[in-house]
Amino acid sequence: MEANDLIYVAGHRGMVGSAIKRRLETLGYQRIITRSSGTLDLRNPAAVDEFFAAEKPAYVFLAAAKVGGIHANNTYRAEFLYDNLMIAANVIHAAYKHNVTKLQFLGSSCIYPRMAPQPIKESFLLTGVLEQTNEPYAIAKIAGIKLCEAYRDQYGCNFISVMPTNLFGIGDNYHPENAHVLPALIRRFHEAKVNHKPSVTVWGTGMPKREFLFADDLADACVYLMQHYNEKEPVNIGIGEDLTIRQLAEYIREVVCYEGDIIFDDSKPDGTPRKLMDVSKLHRLGWKHSISLKEGLVMAYRDFLQQDQFKLQS
């Protein structure tokens, strides 16, 4: 990519898309196109085709998606499958039709089998049963990966796919029911602190292990791969280390300065027992993360407090 190339960041208002946009701007890319979902419905094929025909972007970061935690994924199963299928199909097809130079599709670590060997290699895709609670979202993301591969095979399109691990960071979703585990815990511990509650309840046993990557690190990796990677196979993006949800809760309690107890509700689902990405391929390509989990948690909590509805009570 050159500084004056026209770049479309799909999903620029989300945590990932906004981080990619910030990274591009920091690096001096001057012509970045964005559209809000209210202006451009990526589920509408005619609207997407019209947008690509008019704007003619050279590069596309496909970070738009309907996302959420276990509760949201398991409750809105049809929406998660339909919306994400349509977004992927419409944008990828329009990119082919309107001669986009290169497209990057962002998948998710949930595409891998529930009981995949750890750490999870890119080659483990479609080798086992998916986690039931987020199966619709995973299937939509797998379809996006396969679309990129199919358009490459049939038409020679330079479409690549990247698979981020669990993400958190600036602009995260802190919805009390639909958020992912890390932002949900930040909100829960903060509210317990300001309301002087004696304990915080965490879903599940606390034993599942998860890997977390700060969104700005992901954005740096995405731009790096857009510049340096041109192959068919997906690339995992993560840090290559994980921790238990119990350990994560302790870290967040420390960052928030909450002094109460932590209670684990084992009547709630744990989700996949472990999801640790094998990032050896990414490291061989020359990229490694730079923001530690604790550094990221401090920045994420600071961002959380800047949102008006979550400011500390005096």
Catalytic residues: 137
**Is 244 annotated as ligand-binding?**
no
Answer yes or no: is 38 a known binding residue.
no
Pairing type for strands 102-106 and 209-210 reads unpaired
Q: Please indicate if the annotation marks 11 as binding a ligand.
A: yes
| Annotated binding residue 290 | no
Q: How far apart are CA 45 and CA 151, in angstroms?
A: 17
Q: Check the annotation: does 235 bind a ligand.
A: no
Q: Confirm or deny that 13 is annotated as ligand binding.
A: yes
Residue 166 assigned as binding residue: yes
Q: Was 230 annotated as part of a binding site?
A: no
On whether 248 is known to bind a ligand per the annotation, the reply is no
| Residue 255 counted as an annotated binding residue | no
- 68 marked ligand binding residue: no
Alpha carbon distance 94, 72 (integer Å): 29
Q: Is 71 annotated as a binding residue?
A: no
Is 108 a known ligand-binding residue?
A: yes
287 labelled as ligand-binding? no
- Binding-site residue positions for NADP(+): 11-17, 106-109, 141, 164-167, 180
- Binding-site residue positions: 11-17, 106-109, 141, 164-167, 180, 188, 203, 210, 270
- Binding-site residue positions for substrate: 188, 203, 210, 270
